[in-house]
Structure 1
């Protein structure tokens, strides 16, 4: 039943007004202002930014490179990701549980931490490069850069969604259908191609869209490994955004990235609506792992499975090992037992200067996680309690960050709040610590809202009616009846947000305060050739601690559920 806002208390209206102001000031206004600044920056309509973009070889080359990378990832990540899932979920492979642990390592370290780890291992002075140079004397130590290095790292970094979502999808395949096909004489390859993969089709399609968007907006890998010969859109946007004379180009590139995202999402929705994605059976039977009867194929599958396992686990193992060595060992890529020490860990946790980046990231992550959960709780309460045009508008507005790349959001905030704006009391946010906090909240709103809203709508409405009949006020009912029910899922979302913000680089690099550098910035800076060995040593400690925290977060969110 529709409810009006006429009976709402004044304090509640103020709270709702704050949400409306936040949406207008930080979700709608900056993104619209980007368009204005690009085409009306001088007070009149002009296509000069487009002309500048078309005449800039660097900018056009970055666009070309981004689309090449995005298309390449569709093939490489899907091939590797589907193979991983088949190895651990569908085929009977020896040591599958161990392989699963290796393939899941990308869940505990990603982004700039992962890319810096790969550069540590495969870079010019990296451990694996030293090994390859010893085996092959003519081996080029500067081999790991450019397009192929970026593609290699991102191929193995982007399989996280496959091992999470595609694994769940393959478990839903009806085993009775597989048995029926086998009894009719179908080969294992035919069953895989005509029975199993069609059921996985919608999930693979959704993952493909995500892969394209990930490649299009890639930041860490192209910035650290791309070099001058392979620059993509986001690093180019970052370069242009640092200069007032080229900021319009940065905004235009970000706008192109946003338009590509919207077009791709529209195509995905159209295909999903027109597609006929359904299982071939309505009665499910639990999947039983299939043996590979062909001996040669079985050997090849095992060899490939363990080769991929090594690719995934070697960076993690070496990051941990090198974090216990001195600066010289890290700089030269050599391991020696007599160089092992705890000094790096002692320095990080005893020196405020070394611990400061970690403390900055923790403060940002904690504040932003609590802030976005608070916004989502209030918004979900409104959406749960009222159903009208304004609540629908609120929901769509809160989902805006899901439709736009974080790069465009960052540029919108920079362009808009670099000067006094009446909507925020004529304050200037650029150059303050608040802008990054606001950006973290913005980009995490859609996911948090979806999860919290789902929890709200799973609550039995009779509970609230009973509390109201007993004379409980609205806030008391929310605090003592509704909140305890949704608290477990809300805390899980808070933990995931905290984990995601802690080592963020892609958004942070645009908005961070120079005096308060978060971990993502420090870790990236340690990959530069001129970085000191001591800095690299401390960065490895940061990476190890982040991996431990990520693993603990995943256990908190997923592990305890599987045990219950």
Structure 2
């Protein structure tokens, strides 16, 4: 039995882990790649093997429409990086580089968009800035305009949403880089006569450059993989993510596979840059000198301008939250005949909790998010243990597989699962999972896995192997050592990882749009349906419930997360 415990049982555990990672991450991705090389759909091409295999790619890269969609996607990603960089890095300097009253409170408020599901933000912005939005109609009334002063759709509308939801990447990383600057270097440069501008370009900027590169890579990947904003307010501005869903809906799965592969290859290129710079950051961040001292803004006018700018941006950030909460109490029917809401009640919430059909999406989202979070923990714990605490030869493969979904847009994850599970396969125990309810939580699980692995990995880094060896030397069994020594140390990270996965899944829209069915419709899809059925109050009530859940869980995450403690 001792031999089994030490050799055979751990070996079986590793095989089971690889079964899951290969079967639901690598195999689906390879299936999509092979599907893109399949000419069963009748694509044009040459007669040799390579021409046949690349026929769909030839059609894609010679089609003016496809090239326009690809160009739109790349332009959207690039502009998202530029605008988010200006806003996010600018806010990081305003809050952390210069002296800033109420810095801690402001820091928390500026991170609020990260907890809101993207689909809620899109609908909140539509109610504020759309053609009949509250802000739009107010401007028309105040200035006597005959029509809306702007058009909240297309590229401009998408970018507005992207800046709101994604500036946080730049803000977080640049803020961290600023706090890690060795202030003694800054003081030395000033003593040697360097001007403020010279100190900034020669000392400060090189220190934050890796953070800017990391943020740019993450933002670009997120920007090109965005689906909620392009699908709801994109209008005629077509991008790859929306075309993938269109191809899937029309059953052109080979075309969808090509689009997924192209999008994934672009994303993985930037993911490679991200991983390389992450290693650079970990190396340079290991030395810490004198803590950075925020710089005072001496010019009074500039100081008041900075304060005013921060207040305005915080109000803009809080406005969608307030809009969702207020509109959740609105009577949708009465609002249809007036510019501003006239009647408020609890009817929308009563409808949700008293009507089984309305309540079911809320219950479905909670159940599937819990399942996805549990699966993430089940896979992340042994994966992190193997990567951090063992010398297993295959741990490089495991590390690659658990982070691979990070480089995949959500639409790619969904299509991969569809192509792999549309026919019986060994990983699904010879079953067809397309159309089954389990496929959607599997999608949530795959998309959330990398962040859960990252959190649990940090927890295992804080686990001293000496304590485990001491417990064993005192005669404690493996289970006793795990229960009394290991678990209390890693427990906060495990709980934080579980909550991260739940929060990321509860309002997820992209994977849901591809994989849901009538029996497991999630809350994000119910919101979209309510909007199109002109039940705006009901949609916002769903949104308010999501906000309440994510805010409460985010507070727990900040309490237990190793990432939060690092900050």
TM-score by shorter chain over 0.5: yes
**Contact 2:247–2:253 (CA under 8 A) maintained in structure 1:** yes
Further displaced range: 434-443 or 260-269:
260-269
Please state whether the residue corresponding to 2:329 is helix, strand or coil: coil
CA distance in 1, matches of 2:436, 2:279: 45
Map 1:397-476 onto structure 2 (within 5 A): 397-476=401-480
User: What is the aligned partner in structure 1 of residue 99 from structure 2?
Assistant: 92
Map 1:6-85 onto structure 2 (within 5 A): 8=6, 11-42=9-40, 45-85=52-92
CA distance in 2, matches of 1:85, 1:333: 41
User: What is the aligned partner in structure 2 of residue 252 from structure 1?
Assistant: 258
> Residue 164 of structure 2: which of 156, 167, 179 is its match?
156
Please state whether the residue corresponding to 1:507 is helix, strand or coil: helix
CA distance in 2, matches of 1:554, 1:77: 23
**Contact 2:32–2:416 (CA under 8 A) maintained in structure 1:** yes
Q: Name the CA shift for 1:158/1:423 in 2 (closer, same or farther; >3 Å).
A: closer
CA distance in 2, matches of 1:11, 1:277: 37
1:171 Cα offset (Å):
1.8
**Contact 2:221–2:271 (CA under 8 A) maintained in structure 1:** no
CA distance in 2, matches of 1:56, 1:525: 33
**Contact 2:214–2:278 (CA under 8 A) maintained in structure 1:** no
User: What is the aligned partner in structure 1 of residue 557 from structure 2?
Assistant: 557
TM-score by length of 1: 0.89
> Residue 314 of structure 2: which of 309, 316, 323 is its match?
309
Q: Name the CA shift for 1:274/1:436 in 2 (closer, same or farther; >3 Å).
A: closer
CA distance in 2, matches of 1:232, 1:5: 56
Further displaced range: 391-400 or 88-97:
88-97
1:279 Cα offset (Å):
8.1
TM-score by length of 2: 0.89
1:182 Cα offset (Å):
4.8
Counting matched residue pairs gives 553
Q: Name the CA shift for 1:193/1:523 in 2 (closer, same or farther; >3 Å).
A: farther
**Contact 1:368–1:437 (CA under 8 A) maintained in structure 2:** yes
Q: Name the CA shift for 1:560/1:469 in 2 (closer, same or farther; >3 Å).
A: closer
CA distance in 1, matches of 2:373, 2:351: 28
Structure 1 residue 396 corresponds to structure 2 residue 403: no
1:542 Cα offset (Å):
1.8
Structure 1: which 5+ runs fail to align? none
CA distance in 2, matches of 1:362, 1:172: 39
1:10 Cα offset (Å):
5.0
Further displaced range: 316-325 or 297-306:
297-306
Q: Name the CA shift for 1:350/1:188 in 2 (closer, same or farther; >3 Å).
A: farther
CA distance in 2, matches of 1:274, 1:163: 19
Map 1:25-424 onto structure 2 (within 5 A): 25-42=23-40, 45-93=52-100, 99-136=106-143, 137-140=145-148, 143-182=151-190, 186-227=194-235, 229-244=236-251, 246-268=252-274, 283-288=289-294, 290-328=295-333, 330-331=335-336, 334-335=339-340, 339-383=343-387, 386-424=390-428
1:560 Cα offset (Å):
6.4
Q: CA RMSD in A?
A: 3.0
**Contact 2:421–2:434 (CA under 8 A) maintained in structure 1:** yes
**Contact 1:199–1:278 (CA under 8 A) maintained in structure 2:** no
User: What is the aligned partner in structure 2 of residue 520 from structure 1?
Assistant: 524
Greater length-normalized contact order (CA 8 Å, ≥ 6 residues apart): 1
Structure 2: which 5+ runs fail to align? 42-48
CA distance in 1, matches of 2:15, 2:286: 50
1:475 Cα offset (Å):
3.5
User: What is the aligned partner in structure 1 of residue 499 from structure 2?
Assistant: 495
Further displaced range: 262-271 or 56-65:
262-271
Q: Name the CA shift for 1:330/1:158 in 2 (closer, same or farther; >3 Å).
A: farther
